[in-house]
Amino acid sequence: MATEDKNRATAAAILPLVGGAANVSSIAHCMTRLRLGLHDRSLVQDDALKAVPAVMGVVEDDTYQIVLGPGTVARVTPEFEKLVEEGRAEAPAPAPADASPLTAEELAAQGAAMKAARKAKNATPFKLFLRKIANIFVPLIPALIGCGIIAGLNGLLVNLEWLPSVTPALAAMASGFMALIAVFVGYNTAKEFGGTPILGGAVAAIIVFPGVANIEAFGQKLSPGQGGVLGALGAAVLAVYVEKWCRRWVPEALDVLVTPTLTVLISGLVTIFGLMYVAGEVSTAIGDFADWLLSNGGAGAGLILGGFFLPLVMLGLHQALIPIHTTLIEQQGYTVLLPILAMAGAGQVGAAIATYFRLPRNESIRKTIKSALPAGFLGVGEPLIYGVSLPLGRPFITACVGGAFGGAFVGFFNQLGDAVGSTAIGPSGWALFPLLDGNHGLGATIAIYAGGLLVGYVAGFLATYFFGFSGELLAEFNVSQEEDTATAAATPDPATPSGAAKAPAAV
């Protein structure tokens, strides 16, 4: 009961700070963030919202995103939805916020300005398309995580030859979702692109139906599951366009019979005799390329992937990797890319620790780092990125350096033949340990991943400590609030003669 009260209290604290129930147009959540559609962005009190104890940070994109962390967001969101419904019933008209927001600290203001600028740049057709792709796969992540952990547990029990009567049941639990993931992708795709979700799922189900093994296309027998999630994605998009065409041309009296039939028939035929083969070749090429890249590129490939992942996240381009991860998990049982990309978070943690030591007088930044570090170790990096390194500038670059070194470490072992993979997507940092898998035993896989994290922490720390702060940056930020106030008080008024007060030291 106490937990429910706490979650409701968090939701109740957030609601008035985003403009009240009438200002909320949509509510959703992902692994770590409460995502809100807002009618009027100006009603949001950003600084007061960041001061709510459960709030780790805020991110502006196509929706207003409040970072609450894994687990917490799934519990707060239903309470928030209840409060919004109650608020709309009691007061349908939004009231302008009379209370002035809390005074923003300079660092937070810089971060907010950067996020606003990125939001304006991110509304390109390509990035909007990538968001659609992300919206298709993100709802599947909880099932991928749960089934991935069960698969890891089952593998451990099989290797130890424990509970032989239970392991087949665990294997069924772990594999059932992956066997039908194409259906869920088809359902979500049709929903996201404006079609009837169940028709998208029906067309995608053709791909995993065992009977397709009796069908020949392009001179080859098809295999159940051929084309995987990419084929399901293409089939469902095609179904949406066929359905929309039917809605325009089929008479209303026949619509309920003709439209679903033509949608499944036309899209199904194209899927069986075209998309399954083409998507299968693309999926195979993705897997082969990932293997080739890490087998031959090794440390160099890891360096690039780990070093550039944070900028990809800032640009919203990381969403393009989601179907690639899912395809690799379908083919190989794990994605070898995610553990390397997770090193970007390790570099961020190392950079934050270095910033803590380099700014001993700035209580505000040090407090932000102390509160955000536990989440950072668990792979939730938004509070450190948006609250510390990105607004400071150089520490964000040195954090990328730390990620590059960590990625190079993991990539090097991949080149030696020790593949390190994750059976699911979503978690990062320490939270990825239960999902690790590889080709040389769990012990070796965990050791390599842990070594990569350690390298990322150390490299991010050293790069930031020695190269992350210029003299000007230290002079600006390595001051306490009392010193900053005293400096401001000592600054002469423009109307005061130049000799009337001593000017502060130049920065």
Distance CA 131, CA 140 (A): 15
Distance CA 2, CA 368 (A): 27
Rg of the chain, C-alpha, whole Å: 26
Is 290 within 8 Å of 328 (Cβ atoms)?
A: yes
DSSP 33-44: EEEEEES-GGG-
CA 360 to chain centre: 32
Closest to 65 (Cα-Cα) out of 101, 28, 40: 28
* 246 annotated active-site: no
> Any residues with CB less than 8 A from the CB of 428 and at least 6 apart, and which?
338, 341, 342, 345, 378, 379, 380, 381
How many CA within 13 A on the CB side of residue 201? 11
Is 388 within 8 Å of 395 (Cβ atoms)?
A: yes
Distance CA 347, CA 3 (A): 33
Is 456 within 8 Å of 406 (Cβ atoms)?
A: yes
Query: Do strands 64-67 and 220-221 pair parallel, antiparallel, or not at all (unpaired)?
Result: unpaired
- Give SS3 for 65: strand
**Which value, to the nearest 10 degrees, does the dihedral of the CA atoms of residues 74, 78, 80, 82 take?**
180
Active-site entry in 30, 147, 246, 400: 30
Q: How many helices (H) and strands (E) does the chain have?
A: 23, 8
Catalytic amino acids? 30
